[in-house]
Every structure is written in C-alpha cells, then in structure tokens.
Amino acid sequence: MKKTTRRSKRKRSIRAEDLFKLRLPTSVAISPDEGLVAYTVERMDKKENKYFANIFVHDLAAGEERRFTHGDHNDGQPVWSPDGRYLAFVSTRDKKTGIYVMPTRGGAENLLMELDGAIMDLQWTPDSTDLVFCLRYNDSHFIKDEKKKKQPPVYRHVTRLFYRLDGSGFEPKDIFRVYSLSMDNPNLRRITKGGRDSFFARVSPNGQWVAYVSNRARNEDIDHLKLDLFITPYKGGKERRIPTPEGPVFAPAFSPDGRHIAYLGHDKPRDSWGIANFHVWKVGLSGSPKARDLMAAFDRMAYDQSISDSGDTGEISPLFWSGDGRRVFFLSSDMGTTNLYSVPHTGGKPTRVFRGQCHIKGYSVNGNTKTAALIYSDLANPGEVMTCPTTNGGEKKAIRHTDLNRFLRTDLKLCRTREVRFRSFDGTEVQGWLVHPPNFKPTGKYPAVLEIHGGPRVQYAFTFFHEMQFLASKGYIVLYTNPRGGAGRGETWAEAIEASWGDLDYKDCMAAADYLTRQKYVNPKKMGVTGGSYGGYMTNWIIGHTDRFAAAVTQRSVVDLKSFVGSSDFGWSLEREFKGWPWTDPENYEKRSPITYYKNVRTPVLIIHSEKDLRCCIEQAEQMFVKLKALRKKVEMVRFPEESHGLSRHGRPDRRIARLEWIEKWFRKYLKR
C-alpha cells in the first residue's frame, strides 16, 4: 500500500489587512474564589469598519471558555461581586453608556443604568449589594431634544487651560464625581461633592469609607500633579484629606484590614514629563503612620511604560494587596520588559512575581490572592490570558488559557525579531530590536528603516508590533530602539534630555544608524527613518541635521515647540520639561525646534497627520509642509480626516491600513529604486 503524507500548509508573510484578524484582550478580572477569569476581547469588524468588544469567562478547573456577552457593541470593565454571584460591566450601546449585571453562571443581563457620559473605576461594595463608580455626564445628556443634541452649540465659553483632550474633544462642563447605585434601587446617589473632579474611587473593606483622588490646587491645570487623597463616609458625611507629600496620587487601594491605603505617586509636584519614578506608597487611614515610599531604592516606574500598536497600553494599572495584607502588587517596566512585581507592606526590595522577556499589559488578583490573571504579550503574540502563582518565579508555573491569535502561528511566517545592544558615541549601551525580512540572506543587501518611539518617556519592548512585522515583510531591515530620554532605565536615563531635546537622544539615534551600516547586509545608501509624536519630532530633527537617510516619514509630529505650547491639548505643560515658557526662554525653544533647521533638509519627507489630533495639532504638519515647499524641498503630506493622535493604535481600521501602505509606498519609492 502506497504511503501518503499530508502536505503542510504554506505560510505567508504578514499583511497590513491582518489587523482585522487580531483579537486583543484588553481587561482581565479573576473571581473571588480564584476559579473563574473574566476578560474582554476586542476585535475589528471589516464590514462595519469598527471595533467591538465582548466579555468571555474561563473556568480554570474545567478548562472551559464561554462567551459571556454577545453583540456588535463594546463591553468592558468586568468586575466580580464579592460573593461571586454576579459580574458587572460597562457597555456602550446606541451611543449611550450603561452599567449591566449578569449572574456568574449565565442568564439574562440586567441594565441598571444608561446615560450619556463616561464611567470609570466600577466596583462593588463588600456586601455585593451596591456598585460604586466615577461618573461624568456629557453636555448632550442635559439636552432633551434629540435633534438639538446633534447640533453644535452656539458658542463655547473657555475658562481653563485644560479644556479639550485628544481622542475625546472638548471637555464637558460636568466633572467626575463618585456615585453609588443599588441593585434594588435604580436611582443614583452622589457620594462626593464640590467643584473638582474625583478619580480612582475605592471602597473600604468594611464598606464604611470611599477613598478617591482630587486636585484642589488654586490652579489645577498648571499644578496638575498636585493631587490629594481623600476619604468620605460611604453613607454620606464630611470628606477628610489624608496627608501625603505634595505630588501626584494615583490608584489608591485599601489594605485588607482597612487601616492603610497604598497608592502610586512621588513627591515632586513640579516634575518634568515623567522623569520622577512613580512608586508604591503607604499611608494610615488616619494619616498615621505618615505616607512613605515603600520602594525608595527601586529606580524604575511602578506602572507599564511599554508601547505597542496592538491595543492601547501604557496606562496606570490598579494596585492590589495580597489577601494576608503583607504585599502590594504592581506592574513595572525594565529594559524592554513589563513584569508583575510585589513589594512588602513594610517596605523593601520589590520581588518579580512574573519574570520574562514579555509585556504584561494587565493583571488581576482577588480573594486569597494565590493566583494572578495576566494579559501576556511577547514579540510573536499580541495578547493572551494566562494565570500564574503569586509567588516568586510564578512564570515557571504559568498556564495559558487562550489562543486568540492562532493564525499568527499557523498561517503566517512572522519575521525574525531579536534584541540587539550597541554603543553610542560616549560608550553608553543602547537597546534595540532588529527585524529581518522573510527568507533573509546574510549575503544580500537590504534597505533599512529606523523607527523612533514617541513619548518620549515610554519604551519599545518585548511585545508584538504589527507595523515592524509589516515593514520587514516588505523587504526592509527594521531597527527600533530605546534612546536616552525614554523609559525603562531609571530617572537618570529619563532626565538625560530634559530641556535639551535633540542632543543625546539624537546622538543615540545616529548610533543606531551607525549600527545598521555596520551590518554587511544593509545598504547604507538606502536607509529610511520614521517615528510618531516625539518620534516624529526626532525624525524632523534628524532630517535638519543630517542627510544620511534616503527617505523620512514623520507622523503626528511636533516641528515648532513654541506654537506647540499653545495649540496642544496639554502643550502648556512643556514649561516644566523645558524649565520655562517660550516667552521667558525663546532662545532654547528656537534652538530645540526642528523647523529652525529646515534650510538644511535634503531628505525626501512624507508628512502623515490626523486632522483631529489635539496632542500634536495639524498646524504642526501644516507649518512643516509650507516651509519645506517654500524652500523647494521634496515633501508630500497625507492627512487623515476625523482621526486623533492615536491613529496607529486605535484609529478607524481602514485608515490604519492606509497609513501603513503610505509609509511603505514612500520608502519603496526612495529605498528600492
């Protein structure tokens, strides 16, 4: 009998439109008995050209998964009731936001409340009867006529520096307040009062208190890091400020005995753009013992600073106490990783609970806190749900419970990505990642692209990056690096470019270019450079100071720091980064603005910008385009209507694909001819 064999499926290279196939876990919550894990999965719908998200529940003992919510809408923020009987979540349907509750074992969903506004920090009271959350109404909520809701206002009266936010638009007149909602009573009850926002609400274990954060500075925008910690009786009463050092207070969390609060913060209210390390602090509920840093010698941030184009990342993660009250869990980024840590409640050296060359995008512990649920990503995987023990070395016993992006492994031949280290001009070691094209041959000659991250105080990491894979699949060597001024290497590394953008960071980028030219398979005459936001700034700076790159693509960038201060949604905070205002130190702002040097540009440059970008406004791109055109340089511009600063991460799917295709088209024109 003739032996037959099954032909293996031929794998292909990744494409831009593979974005539509990605399924990304965006939140995770483990149940009080540590037997169930709820998680949100976001997907892109090609036909609708939109994002949708639903909640799934995995039974750890049975190894079974079930879909908890259905439909083409966005469900998120799942939170278990302390008795384990219910799962509450927030859902946006019909342009309204609602709070829903469903029985843990399945059943009909119960809509408790629906409104036109935003809801954050959803949680249960300890007796599982009420829900507590932060709520802010949109202006349109107060307009009863549906036709008038769609009409723009007659005018907008602006009195604050912070009156708009990228991705959201103009800030509503309402503020965030803490509310409660009973399972048996659909009427909202407001807990906090006053005229300032209240964030990060948390209920005490005995249900008597609610802790929250609020800025009560005379000028809350200029002094936006002067955040204070407050508690107020849950059933109503006078609020009380808990003394903490001047500086930010984020993510408060009650200890299991209710006597202490842990929070993320530091004591530098005039810190630049993210230099001072956020650490875990602890303070007594009565203010005694006094607030103190539990990890003063730990020269890293106590939150996730890794970036990716596979979901929104880099946000403040909640703190969790261990069930016995002896430890506090947190995330931290270090040399291209984001791992899970814990620190003793008495203070001391943090311990890595989950160690690895990976990006932990989110986590949850609950109940006895013997098990942690994680959202895990690495260079080949944009996100999976895992669990691990909460002891040191938890990664050794970690279990993966999902296979959301199996097609990346079975259908595609991902480009090889490896970490590299090289020396800058002064001997400083710089970290990066090198991506090889499919069927790479060391004897070949390839065009190369240098990618520069935004921020500046974030980091590239051991995490999946669709853009890097896509460019490499088109035949480019891709190098993305972490120059000085970024995150993951402590305060000295972060402050290296304070008030001096375009100095050490530029030299580190040039060291990256030198590294590329030393690779025998790279064509040194066919190198391109690109980056977005601060990475766009650095791209703009590079083309005004060297012509070694054959092409450049600058994205959502800054070109004139003086006008950026007045046009960006929080550009006025650049005063702290540059130690002065454009009118008090015009020389340095002029010196550090890329547009100052554009008479030197010889590099063909493509400008990509979003028309509703409020972080780096479209006027930055327009200034750049006009000046380069007037100087008769090679420049083109691609504008994306309706999109904000985060186009590459969460813009409309077809526009994300168009953006990638424009980048590759420009590089193909100048690097492959």
What pLDDT shows up at residue 312?
72
Q: Is the pLDDT of residue 95 over 60?
A: yes
* Mean pLDDT along residues 70-84: 96
Backbone angles phi, psi at 64, to 5 degrees: -115, 145
The per-residue pLDDT for 7 is 54
Residue 5 has pLDDT above 50, yes or no: no
Other Cβ atoms less than 10 A from the Cβ of 583: the count is: 9
pLDDT digits (tens, 9 = 90+) for 616-652: 999 999 999 999 999 999 999 999 999 999 999 999 9
Mean pLDDT value across residues 440-457: 97
pLDDT attached to residue 142: 82
Whether 3 has a pLDDT exceeding 60, the answer reads: no
pLDDT for residue 75 is more than 50 = yes
pLDDT for residue 94: 76
**pLDDT tens track for 595-618:** 999 999 999 999 999 999 999 999
What confidence tens digit (pLDDT) does each residue in 101-135 have?
Answer: 999 987 888 999 999 999 999 999 999 999 999 99
pLDDT-derived band at 1, boundaries 50, 70, 90 = very low
What confidence score (pLDDT) does residue 313 get? 64
What distance in Å separates the CA atoms of residue 471 and residue 446, rounded to the nearest whole number?
12
pLDDT value of position 407: 97
Neighbours of 604 (CB within 10 A): 19
The pLDDT value given to residue 665: 98
Long-range contacts formed by 109-118: CB under 8 A, 24+ apart: 109/69, 112/181, 112/183, 112/186, 113/181, 113/186, 113/188, 115/141, 116/140, 116/141, 117/141, 117/172, 117/174, 118/176
Maximum CA pair distance of the chain? 89
- R_g of the chain, CA atoms, integer Å: 25
Mean pLDDT of 439-459: 97
Q: 13 pLDDT exceeds 80?
A: yes
pLDDT of residue 222: 94
Residue 367 confidence (pLDDT) above 80? yes
pLDDT of res. 2: 46
What's the pLDDT at 314?
Answer: 64
Both tokens of 417, joined, read 């990505």
Neighbours of 632 (CB within 10 A): 7
Q: What is the pLDDT of residues 211-262, one digit of tens each?
A: 999 999 999 999 999 999 999 999 989 999 999 999 999 999 999 999 999 9
pLDDT of residue 130: 97
As a whole number of Å, the end-to-end CA separation of the chain is 55
Instruction: Supply the pLDDT for residue 614.
Output: 98
Name the pLDDT band for 4 (thresholds 50, 70, 90): very low
Q: Quote the pLDDT of residue 224.
A: 94
Residue 315, pLDDT above cutoff 80? no
75, 94 Cβ separation under 8 angstroms: no
DSSP labels, 282-304: EEETTS-SPPEETTTT--S-SS-
Q: What is the pLDDT of residue 151?
A: 85
Strands (E) across 404-562 are located at: 417-423, 429-435, 446-452, 477-482, 522-532, 551-555
- Please report how the helices 504-518 and 534-543 are oriented relative to each other, as an axis angle in degrees rounded to 10: 70
Q: CB of 528 within 8 A of CB of 477?
A: no
* Homologous superfamily assigned to 415-671: Alpha/Beta hydrolase fold, catalytic domain (3.40.50.1820)
- Mean pLDDT of the region 555-560: 98
Bigger pLDDT: 151 vs 593: 593
Residue where the block lists tokens 């956020």: 278
> pLDDT tens, 453-494?
999 999 999 999 999 999 999 999 999 999 999 999 999 999
What are the sequence ranges of the domains in the chain? Answer: 415-671
Q: Which residue has the higher pLDDT, 144 or 638?
A: 638
Mean pLDDT to the nearest integer, 2-11: 60
Contact between residue 289 and residue 281 where contact means Cβ atoms under 8 Å apart = no
To the nearest 10°, the Cα dihedral for 456, 434, 310, 495? -10
Q: What is the mean pLDDT of residues 436-450?
A: 96
* Among 421, 404, 298, CA closest to 361: 404
∠ at Cα 310 (44, 43), nearest 5°? 20
> Could you tell me what percent of the chain has a pLDDT over 70?
99
